Amino acid sequence: MLELHALTGGYKDTRIVNDLSLRVEPGEIVGVLGRNGVGKTTLLKSLFGLCRVFSGEVRIDGVAVPSGRPELLARAGCTLMPDDRGVFADLTVAENLRLAARRGYRPPVDVRAVYPLLDERADQAAGTLSGGQKQQVGLARAVLAGSRLIAVDEFSQGLQPSVVDDSIAALRTVAASGVAVVLVEQGPEIPLRFCDRIVVMVKGGIVLDAPAAELRADPSRLTDLLVVG
């Protein structure tokens, strides 16, 4: 469904992601790992046309999406939750959810059941929430908008363990309905127990792309790539 082909992206004249190729199938959950500064966030921004793309293509169902046109990804049912959570600070929680909801699409999970604060804080301005609460609103918005692809930068940021578990269960249900999920995380613990596939980036490129089951059996394959010596 989603394919990045020889993608090179960055900012102004600086290339951060270099000649990167990646394919994500419908219903697949892919974890993107790597040390700080290797290009994980730039990969997502390049995918969604939010930074400069020097070369390469983003394809949906084999059709190239012009760079710099994030609205085309949105129309195709693809959504990105950035590392700043992407909530509208001046709008209430309820208004944030209404803006995110995709017309004609009903997610296979009830985000209000997953995150009770959505009802408890419905009339509160999203900008006044704590970091973890904003994370929940951002994840709920992504589920409401992403009918084909959900990409999340720093998935577990600010979340307590029980909310991480509830979020994992919700995204598994969403993926089971055919929605592709791409998660960027700093550490391997959550992706190892949650993802179908794990991709590791080093210096703007992919150096490891393997089924999570293989890496669970031999987690030492990740050690040198992720731990700063």
pLDDT band at 224 (very low <50, low <70, confident <90, very high): confident
- Collect all residues with Cβ–Cβ distance below 8 Å to 146 and sequence separation of at least 6: 77, 78, 79, 102, 174, 179
- Whether residue 228 is predicted with pLDDT greater than 70 in this model: the reply is no
The band of 66, judged by pLDDT with boundaries at 50, 70 and 90, is confident
Indicate the pLDDT class of residue 229, thresholds 50, 70 and 90: very low
Residue 68: pLDDT band (50, 70, 90) is confident
Quick one: average pLDDT of 75-88? 93
Residue indicated by tokens 């363990």: 161
Measuring CA to CA, which residue among 157, 187, 166 is closest to residue 87?
157
Domains and CATH numbers, the chain: 2-226 (3.40.50.300)
Phi and psi at 55, nearest 5°, equal -165, 170
Look at residue 220 in the predicted model and tell me its pLDDT. 86
| Burial class (CB within 10 angstroms; exposed 0-12, middle 13-18, buried 19+) of 229 | exposed
Where residue 59 falls (left for φ over 0; alpha for ψ -120 to 50; beta otherwise) is: beta
CA distance 76 to 59: 11
Q: What is the pLDDT of residue 219?
A: 86
Q: Given a cut of 90, is residue 202 above it in pLDDT? A: yes
Model pTM score:
0.94
Give the residue-averaged pLDDT of 146-150.
96
**Cβ neighbours around 186 below 10 Å, total:** 16
**Which of 27-31, 190-194, 210-214, 218-222 shows the lowest mean pLDDT across its residues?**
218-222
Using CA atoms, how far apart are residues 201 and 38, in angstroms rounded to an integer? 6
Task: Write down the mean pLDDT value for the chain.
Answer: 94
Question: Of all residues in the chain, what percent carry a pLDDT higher than 90?
Answer: 85
Tens digits of residue pLDDT in 115-147: 999 999 999 999 999 999 999 999 999 999 999
> Are β-strands 180-184 and 29-33 bridged in parallel, bridged antiparallel, or unpaired?
parallel
For residues 208-220, average pLDDT? 93
